[in-house]
Each structure stands twice: as structure tokens, then as C-alpha cells.
Amino acid sequence: MKEICEVSVLEERLLQSPEAPIVLLRQLNARPHPSPLPQAREKRSPLSDETEVGADSNDKRVQETRDGCSLSPGERAGVRAGVEQTNLEIAPSVAPGNPNLGVMLPSNPLHHLLMAELGFPLVATSGNLNDEPICTDEFEALERLRDIADVFLVHNRPIVRHADDSIVRVMLDREMVLRRARGYAPLPVALNHQPPTIHHQPILAIGAHLKNSVALAVSEQVFLSQHIGDLETELANQAFRRMAADLPRLYEAAPEVIAADLHPDYLSTQFALEQVRSSGFSQSGLPEGGTPNERPRIIQVQHHIAHVLSCLGENETELPALGVAWDGTGLGTDGTIWGGEFFLVTNESVERVAHWRPFRLPGGDGAAKEPRRAALGLLYELLGAEVFSRTKLPTAAAFSNVEHAALQTMLTRGINAPWCCSVGRLFDVVASLSGVRQQMRFEGQAAMELEFALEGVMTDTAYDLPIDVYQSPMRLDWARMIEGILADVAHGVATGEISAKFHNTLAAAMVSVAKHIGVPRVALSGGCFQNRYLTERAVTRLREEGFQPYWHQRVPTNDGGIALGQVVAAKRELAARSAAVCGSTSRSNVDTETASGFREGCGWSVGHSRAPLQPTTHHASR
């Protein structure tokens, strides 16, 4: 591995750990003096005495993988006649345009037998189609995978619960779990310092729409399920419902409260509402001895508040703290798309204290797949109709005249062009403006390529970013930053330089807001913090300014960690109600509550209808 990837001591230990995750390793550049081609291992019978199976073979496996990853295109010529050799080069199509490789060692006896027979690295993928759960029996696999697989190796051991391979990345010399599944789930997360609830009511949190996982809170323990995936297909929805039924049954804990997202169109939210409207929770896993006639209550939690509370809960962070939630999308309490949020979290409330300046997304959800749309919407907010005459801009040049006309109508009339303040979409904007990516083949591609572009660039320079501290909440205005990027593009500044300055600007923004709010602890959560450079830069800058940053490690920073945050929010809500800080409140007929997390006088505010509350924001004129 070390011939082609950087492997730290911690990364090597993770590869050999009992969890056996996929570890993201950074590929090295081709060396100027290629080493000789390594000798191939002689093929052996998988059942011979020399076959190494078990933990003792892991050290050798690491070295073999290092050797196997060492070939560059020029090293193929080293094959000598008469000696059996194996071309071990990793094909570029395995991770196109990506400086990282996902590497794992054999994790079960079958893997060891296969590797012993083949003697070279294998490219592997999970047994499922895109946006579908993993197949769990051979009959299902033969039906669903027959168009993509030529041969099926089956066995007679039943698979009770599907589990993907976990994925981890090392940041700041610490493990960061990006996908929590085999080896990690359903190990509990302890919430020893969170507010207790009356009788420790079991809470079922049903997560978000993308990267879904569910969680069951029993007393101070939260059992976070394995990764379920995006709820984009009926099969994925069925897997989600099975998991929501399985956890309560497995731990013999009938949920009295269901925590869900605010978004009414999420399949997970719709499932939660179904349970409230039905005669009980029995059809979704109420253990024997439960009371089907007692309907569970639902507490809806704003997406980005759940992100922040997930990070604070995992790290058992003392309050008050500033929470930074940056991702691609999430429904805000004002009905717009959030994703560039700052929250002040105290023991009593959560306040939205700052956010990025909004801009429109022409085409709505379609803009999440086309960075050019997000960029056009932002440029329209900055330049008005003039943007359509800037034909030399990479963004404008990416559209046809017909597309320009349709998009101009959307933006001028506000049709299918929702407001957005998402940092994830800001990454898309910068990728489009700098010519990195106009359309994406998979989620996050533009942001990833923008991160990859700054490899090897060393600069502390940042763009200008004014913060209006007299607005409530404070507003980070991207206008001068975008003008600086446009100027750099016009002057032919390298994409890596633009990317580095953009990342530095984001880190500086976090420090600036933290200084204005003035609390010592800062929690970072959301999909944007899967970006190694952004997270490491932000943590470094915050520490330099005397702050104590916290970030995710054993719970995903992406939407896979949302369920944990929903549990924390529900616990806070129930604790506030039981303490009756602001007096007693009656239950609604709908049995639906909105834990907005915003202060309304005192306590953890609750609404008694499905309509989200309007926030009472923090006045930051200081």
C-alpha cells in the first residue's frame, strides 16, 4: 500500500482492526524512479497448509497490498520472460479523478481463501444496485443482480440483517466514520450528560432522507442502526421500515416518542406521521406486552439543529457552544433551504445566530445535480439580468440559448427557484465558476473535485468576506468573495489556487462568527466537514484563536448521524416539558410537536401543529 498510498500508523491500525472498515487512503504521485516490478506470489491451493487465515496474516496482507498498489503505467515493462508475473496496477476507473483509494483487508475466511488463491488485490463492490439495499439471499441476488454479475458464489449461512462495509477516514490524527455499518453498528452511543427524561421513555429517531439510519434511545444509551442509504426507491423504503421495526423488537423497547425531520416530503417523516395516525406502533415493531392503543408522540426536529446536536451529543460537549452546520440541503423553519448555519446552543435553547446570504436555485432539486444552475442563481442575485450576457464565463457558456431563456424566466419570476443559503451549493457555485464541473454524475462530485484541485497548493490567502453583525441573525455576504473568484478566473489564476483561497475563506468565516458570539466551544457538523482540508483548516484556525473545536469521529458527520441529533433534541424537549420551565402546556389533538430549537422566552420551545415555528434570533450587534 505504501508504494501508492500514504498510510499512517492509525490508518494501518484501522485496516487491521476487528471492525475491518474501508479506509480512505491518499494516493501518492508517480515516483520519478520507478521500482522494479514486485515478484508475484506463487499460486497455492486455498486449502494448503501454507494458506494463512486469521489475524496473524494481517501484517503480511498490509505489505502485500502495499506491493500490489505500487505499479505505475511505466512499470508494466518490468515483466520478465519465463517468470509468472501479475499486472497489479490499479485501474484509473476504480476512482476516476480521485486522489484517494478505499482500501480494506480480508475480513472473513472466504476473503482470505480468495486472496490466497489469487495473490493480488481485488476491486470489490457491494451486492446491490444504485440506491437499493444490499441483497441478503441468493435468490434475491440472482434476480436483482443478474444483469451486472456473471457468476454468483453462494453459501448456506442465512443473512439476518444487511450491513454495508463501513467507511472511515483519518483527519487530524483521529478516526472519522463516514459510513457507519459493519463492525460499528449497532454499538451504542452514551448520552450521559444529556437531560434525562421521565421514566427514560424510549425514543425512536428515524433520521433523514439521504444516507438514512435510524436510532433507538433506551435510557442513556442510543443504538444507532447500520447505514440504510438514500430513501429514493421502494426497496430502500422497505429496508428502512424493516429497520424501524427491528430495533425496538431487538431491544424490547416500545417507542413512546418518534423523532423526525421537519420536511413533510421525506419518506422517513411520512412514516413517522403514519405511526401517529394509526392505532399504535404495533405494526412497526411494538414488542410483546406493549400497548398498541397508546399512540407514540412525534417530535419534529429541524435538520441542521439535529446535525449540531449530534456532534455535541457524541462528544458530550459542555454548553454553551456554537454549532456550525454546513451541508447541501435541509428544510429551514422559514420554508427556505438551509445549509450554511450557525447556532448558539445552551441548556435551555438553540438560536440561529448567523447564516450565509441566500440566493436562488433555478430548477429546485435539479440544481443539486448541476453546479451551473446554482452558480447561475447566485450570479443572478449578484449581477441581475447582466449575467445572461456574460457569455465568456464558464457558467454561462455551459447553457444553450434555449436553456438560458427558460432559466431567466425562472429567476425573474421566482418560479421553481427556491431560496438557499447552503454551503454545499456554494461549493458547487465555485466549481462551476472556476470551470471544474458543470454537471455531476454522483452526489458531491463538484465539491470533491474542488477539494482535490488544491492538492499541493500552499497559501494562507483568503477572499474578502464581510459579515453584517447588525442583522439578526448575522449574515455572511459572499458577494466580494465571488467577485474575487471571477477576477481570478479572468486573470487565469490556477484552479488549485482559487480552491485554496475559497477553503481558507470558509475557515476564516467560522473564526469570525465564533469571535462575535464569544463562547469557547465550537461544534462542526454536516456533510461539508467530510472535506479534509476544510475540517483541518477550520480546527487549526479555531485552536489558534483560543477556541475548543469538536467534530464527529464515531458517528457520521453527514446525514448518517442525523438520527442521533434527533434523539438529543427529543430528550431536551421532554426534559423541558417535565421541568415545566415555562408552565404546563396541553397536548394537541394531532400528537405532533415541532421541536424548533429556538428560544421563545425560555425553555425548549414546542409548537402544537405541523407548521414550523418562526425563529427568535440572536441579536449580534457587538
Q: Match 459542555 to its residue by C-alpha cell.
A: 318
- pLDDT, mean of residues 117-129: 86
* pLDDT beyond 50 at 615: no
What pLDDT was estimated at residue 603? 30
- pLDDT score recorded for residue 412: 94
For 50, other C-beta atoms within 10 Å of its C-beta total 8
**What is the arithmetic mean of pLDDT over 26-33?**
56
DSSP-derived letter for residue 40 is P
Of 253-267, 283-297, 492-506, 607-621, the one with minimum mean pLDDT is 607-621
**Rounded Cα distance, 442 and 542, in Å:** 32
- The pLDDT tens digits of the residues spanning 588-606 come to 434 556 664 444 322 333 3
Whether pLDDT at 510 is above 50: yes
* pLDDT for 437: 96
- How does the average pLDDT of the chain come out, rounded? 83
Q: Which has more confidence, 332 or 87? A: 332
* pLDDT confidence of residue 95: 86
pLDDT given at position 75: 38
- pLDDT value at residue 67: 53
pLDDT in tens, 209-226: 999 999 999 988 999 999
Contacts of 422 (CB under 8 A, 6+ apart): 326, 327, 328, 329, 337, 338, 339, 340, 356
Check whether 232 has a pLDDT greater than 60. Answer: yes
Kindly report, residue by residue over 536-564, the tens digit of the pLDDT.
999 999 999 999 999 999 999 999 999 99
**Percentage, residues of the chain above pLDDT 90:** 64
Q: Note the pLDDT of residue 41.
A: 34
Residues of the chain with pLDDT > 70, as a percent, come to 80
Res. 488 pLDDT band, cuts 50 70 90: very high
What pLDDT is recorded for position 81?
Answer: 31
pLDDT of residue 587 exceeding 60, the answer is no
**What does each C-alpha distance from 560 to 8, 167, 249, 503 come to in angstroms?**
26, 12, 22, 24
How does pLDDT run across 449-484, given as a tens digit for each residue? Answer: 999 999 889 999 999 999 999 999 999 999 999 999
Lowest mean pLDDT: which of 51-55, 196-200, 259-263, 319-323?
Answer: 51-55
Across the range 3-28, mean pLDDT stands at 88
Q: What mean pLDDT is predicted for residues 146-158?
A: 90
Average pLDDT (390-394) is 88
Q: With bands split at pLDDT 50, 70 and 90, how would you rate the model's confidence at 60?
A: low
Quick one: pLDDT at residue 473?
96
The arithmetic mean of pLDDT across residues 201-207, rounded, is 94
Q: Contact 417/360 with Cβ under 8 angstroms?
A: yes
- Between 247 and 157, whose confidence is greater? 247
Q: What is the DSSP letter of 171?
A: E
Cell (9 digits) for 117: 488463491
d(C-alpha 428, C-alpha 500), whole Å: 15
Residue 31 pLDDT greater than 60, yes or no = no
Mean pLDDT of the region 166-180 = 96
Least confident piece of the model among 123-132, 180-189, 218-227, 492-501: 123-132
Mean pLDDT of 110-115: 88
- pLDDT bracket for residue 92 (50, 70, 90): confident
CA nearest 491: which of 503, 502, 483, 479? 483
**Whole-number pLDDT of residue 196:** 62
Provide the pLDDT confidence category of residue 580 given band limits of 50, 70 and 90: low
Q: How would you label 222-236 residue by residue, b for 16+ Cβ within 10 Å and e otherwise?
A: bbbbbbbbbbeeebb
Position 578 scores a pLDDT of 78
How confident is the model at residue 88, as a pLDDT? 54
Q: CA nearest 379: which of 416, 340, 430?
A: 430
Which stretch of 1-15, 192-206, 214-228, 553-567 has the lowest confidence by average pLDDT?
192-206
**Average pLDDT estimate for 185-205:** 81
